[in-house]
Amino acid sequence: MTRWLITGGAGMVGTDVRDELLDRNETVIAPGKDDLDITDEQTVRSAVRDAKPAVIVNCAAYTRVDDAETNEHLANAINGSAVEFLARAANDAGALLVQISTDFVFDGSKRAPYEVNDRIGPLSAYGRSKLLGEVAATHAKEHLIVRTAWLFGTHGPNFVEAIRNQVRKGTSPLRVVNDQRGRPTYTPHLANALIRLSLNPAARGIVHYADEGECTWFDLAKAIVEESGASTEVVPVTTAEFPRPAKRPAYSVLSTERYERITGVKPESWRAGLHEYIHAR
């Protein structure tokens, strides 16, 4: 049995990781952000010293992509500096540090799935802050950085729920961007992947995990409407027609080749995750 410390344990990803570990009868400590402020180094050191974990999974993050453009200092503190504190504490405890990162570390100029060693070039403050976290995580003697993408799950705000809320309000047509492409990922699938990788000594350094199947936000919105049994019209628009404060990569499909090679397991389907999500809520 392994002792686990999950930071951000009450968030969308942290809750699913915690629940999956508890289902496996693992020993889990999963403080939420109100119980553990990861931007306070002394608090982090004390929490890790008390928990005595073999694995620290950092699910705490600043995820408000557009707000980060005007709050980059805060995003850097949570997504960057705090990871340095966790890395030092992991070294003191002899623990593995698992850091969750993002497809937003890439600039989207590629047109084939991004491999773990491809050139990075974040376009947004959020992407830059997560890249700081990747660098900080490497300061843990034993570290695993898992880049993932387009997350949706039942324990936090996400694109799927935002579309469903518009459907409930009767908004029609829905105008959704059709020139950004990625791999949607259901957070219980990610939780399983994180645990599988953490327990595999060959899975260290950077690994990509995203659910099987790529699409645009427009494709995903159509699937959400279809899965919900609604008749709402979904209309494709360009990114230029739908300006946002933070620039997004046009193409951020992650290659999961290394994940599949290390684990011998194919990623699960985002369509299956969407079906489960809608029926769970």
Q: Catalytic amino acids?
A: 126
- Provide the residue type at 101 as one letter: S
Residue 107's SS3 state is coil
What's the Cα-to-Cα distance from 20 to each of 13, 24, 196, 264, rounded to whole Å?
11, 6, 11, 20
Q: What six digits make up the tokens of 45? A: 């050191």
Beta bridge partners, 79, equal none
SS3 helix, strand, coil % of the chain, rounded to 5? 40, 20, 40
Q: Does residue 245 have a cis bond before it (omega within 30 degrees)? A: no
Q: Is the distance from CB of 267 to CB of 193 less than 8 angstroms?
A: yes
- Provide the residue type at 250 as one letter: A
d(CA 9, CA 236): 36
- Provide the residue type at 280 as one letter: A
d(CA 38, CA 47): 10
Residue 142: is it exposed, middle or buried by C-beta count within 10 angstroms (0-12/13-18/19+)?
Answer: middle
Q: What six digits make up the tokens of 114? A: 């991004």
